[in-house]
């Protein structure tokens, strides 16, 4: 597995980077940490003649407070930088938890937040060397082939999105700031994803993901990220689930629940039906079971990764239970620490037990 020749560009500004992408069109690709891209080049999945390295662009590297109390994270920050940022640890520990679950520390030291959010969709039949792909039946839809080796007779590509941080950022209500030759635009994070395994990102020609914008940290909020992978030390999620619950002040009652999954579909996504179970309620076991069952039904894994689809679906339910119990326990600890007598009364108004 060797690289085909390419020209390396190291622009100092975002405008310069966009200009390179515009000039070379489909022959150019953005290079960030390279932890996924460089492997894909060796596997001959893409053949760009120009790589535009964005790591030297200052706008893409900062952690900046926003006027509304939110936070701007440059897309070229490494995951290790995101995890270590005091603003992230204090205001958005859910993001630090998800970023800390990506691969292994060496990948976190090189891999970037932007690269994680724009991680190409994956499939057993695609992420292989050229000769291995030939051995399993040749190129598939994702590589301009004429078949899908996973689901026979279909017309679409079902390659799976497996980035870890996207689920956490969906729960945190993040937006994406993208910039291209004709200017910048901000879209809700979900708007970055098309749901098409072949062309999974809604970026226009020569656009770069510049930053992630987080709203102000929510009050009375607890989050958790849970992930199923075969090798605990380093592996993509076969299923991943982020939970975020905003509680009514001084009570264990959930004002708003957010759940998002990754690794079980062509795009990361929220699970609104499972979220709705908790509105104005405590996170009680029957509701936890109900939400887990909904999450399992909503998942759309296909047979394109290790483990069976049935197992991945079941594991998503398990992650959902684990995550919900974790936020419930965190809220209970917080209320106990503040000596709040209303904890665990089961009373929807949160009144103290008699
Ligand atoms: C052994 C192994 C295990 C891994 N395990 C995990 C895991 O558990 N979870 C996980 O989420 N990932 C995993 N990864 C994948 C990868 O390491 C991470 O997702 C990493 O965060 C990718 O970031 P990067 O900067 O290296 O991206 P790159 O490889 O540089 O880029 C990835 C893609 O994003 C595009 N891109 C990057 N930044 C931008 C930008 N700002 N604007 C526009 N396009 C951009 C690139 O063109 C490329 O298509 C694993 C990788 C390996 C090799």
Identify whether residues 235 and 188 lie together within a single domain: no
Tell me, yes or no, whether 88 and 197 share the same domain: yes
Q: Are residues 207 and 69 in the same domain?
A: yes
254 inside domain: yes
Please check whether residue 50 lies inside any domain of the structure.
yes
Which atom belonging to ligand 1 lies closest to the Cα atom of 208? 42
Per-residue pLDDT, 354? 29
Q: Domain boundary residue among 162, 184, 214?
A: 214
Domain boundary among 185, 214, 243: 214
Could you give the CA distance from residue 27 to residue 98 in angstroms, rounded to a whole number? 33
What is the reported pLDDT for 341? 47
Indicate whether residue 164 lines ligand 1 (CB < 6 A).
yes
pTM, full prediction: 0.95
Position 152 in a domain? no
Q: Do 209 and 292 sit in the same domain of this protein?
A: no
Distance 33 CA to ligand 1 centre (A): 7
Task: Judge if the beta carbon of residue 235 lies within 6 A of ligand 1.
Answer: yes
Could you tell me if residue 169 is inside a domain?
A: no
The number of angstroms, rounded, from the C-alpha of 115 to the middle of its chain's C-alpha atoms is: 10
Instruction: Write out the chain's pLDDT in tens, 354 residues.
Output: 789 999 999 999 999 999 999 999 999 999 999 999 999 999 999 999 999 999 999 999 999 999 999 999 999 999 999 999 999 999 999 999 999 999 999 999 999 999 999 999 999 889 988 888 888 888 889 988 888 888 888 888 999 999 999 999 999 999 999 999 999 999 999 999 999 999 999 999 999 999 999 999 989 999 999 999 988 888 899 999 999 999 999 999 999 999 999 999 999 999 999 999 999 999 999 999 999 999 999 999 999 998 899 999 999 999 999 999 999 999 999 999 987 644 443 333 333 332
Shared-domain flag, residues 192 and 43 = yes
| Residue 160, in any domain of the structure | no
* Shared-domain flag, residues 49 and 192: yes
Cβ atoms 307, 230 nearer than 8 A? yes
HEC assignment per residue over the chain: CCCCCCEEECCCCHHHHHHHHHHHHHHEEEECCCCCHHHHHHCCCCCCCEEEECCCCHHHCCEEECCCCCEEEECCCEHHHHHHCHHHHHHCHHHHHHHHCCCCHHHHHHCEHHHHHCCCCECCCCCCCHHHHHHCCCCCHHHCCCCCCCCCCCCCCCCECCCCHHHHHHHCCCEEEEEECCEEEEEEHHHHECCCCCCCECCCCCCEEEEEEECCCCCCEEEEEEEECCCCCCCCCCEEEEEEEEECCCCCEEEEEEEEEECCCCCCEECHHHHHCCCCEECCHHHHHHHHHHHHHHCCCCCCCCCCHHHHHHHHHHHHHHHHHHHHHHHHHHHHHCCCCCCCCCCCCCCCCC
Answer yes or no: do 204 and 231 share one domain: no
208 pocket-lining for ligand 1 (C-beta < 6 Å) = yes
186/39 same-domain check = yes
CATH code (residue 41): 3.30.465.10
Determine whether the shortest distance from the Cβ of 350 to ligand 1 is under 6 A: no
Same-domain status, 205 and 252: no
Say which CATH number the domain at 306 has: 3.30.390.50
> Domain check: are 115 and 254 in the same one?
no
Q: Which pLDDT score, from 0 to 100, does residue 163 have?
A: 98
Query: In terms of domains, do 196 and 60 share one?
Result: yes
pLDDT for 344 equals 42
Q: Do 315 and 293 lie in a common domain?
A: yes
Report pLDDT for 346.
36
In a domain, 157, yes or no: no
Instruction: Identify whether 129 is part of a domain.
Output: no
Range of the domain at 113: 7-121+175-214
Number of domains in the chain: 2
Residue-level pLDDT at 340: 61
User: Considering only CA atoms, which residue is closest to atom 28 of ligand 1?
Assistant: 34
Task: With respect to residue 148, please indicate whether it lies within any of the assigned structural domains.
Answer: no
Distance 59 CA to ligand 1 centre (A): 19
């Amino acid at each position: 597995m060797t690289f085909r020749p390419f020209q390396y560009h190291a622009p100092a500004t975002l405008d310069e980077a966009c200009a390179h992408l515009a000039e070379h069109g489909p022959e150019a690709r953005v290079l960030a940490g390279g932890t996924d891209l460089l492997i894909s080049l060796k596997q001959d999945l893409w053949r760009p003649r120009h790589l535009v390295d964005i790591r030297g662009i200052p706008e893409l590297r900062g952690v900046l407070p926003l006027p509304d109390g939110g936070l701007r994270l440059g897309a070229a920050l490494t995951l290790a930088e995101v995890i270590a940022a005091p603003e992230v640890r204090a205001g958005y520990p859910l993001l630090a938890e998800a970023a800390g679950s990506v691969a292994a520390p060496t990948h976190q030291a090189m891999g970037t937040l932007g690269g994680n959010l724009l991680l190409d969709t994956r499939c057993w039949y695609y992420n292989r060397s050229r000769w291995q792909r030939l051995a399993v039946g040749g190129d598939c839809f994702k590589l301009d082939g004429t078949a899908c080796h996973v689901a026979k007779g279909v017309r679409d590509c079902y390659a799976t999105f497996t980035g870890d941080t996207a689920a956490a950022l969906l729960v945190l209500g993040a937006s994406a700031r993208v910039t291209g030759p004709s200017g910048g635009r901000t879209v809700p994070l979900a708007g970055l994803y098309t749901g098409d395994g072949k062309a999974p990102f809604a970026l226009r020609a020569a656009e770069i993901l510049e930053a992630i914008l987080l709203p102000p940290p929510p009050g009375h909020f607890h989050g958790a990220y849970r992930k199923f992978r075969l090798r605990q030390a380093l592996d993509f999620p076969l299923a991943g689930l982020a939970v975020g619950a905003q509680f009514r002040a001084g009570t264990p009652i959930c004002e708003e629940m957010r759940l998002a999954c990754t690794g079980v579909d062509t795009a990361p996504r929220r699970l609104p039906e499972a979220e709705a179970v908790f509105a104005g309620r405590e996170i009680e076991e029957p509701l936890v079971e109900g939400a887990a069952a909904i999450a399992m039904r909503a998942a759309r894994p296909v047979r394109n990764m290790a483990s069976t689809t049935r197992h991945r679906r079941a594991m998503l339910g398990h992650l959902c239970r684990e995550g919900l119990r974790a936020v419930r326990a965190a809220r209970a600890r917080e209320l106990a620490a503040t000596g709040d007598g209303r904890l665990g009364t089961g009373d929807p108004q949160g009144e103290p037990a008699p």
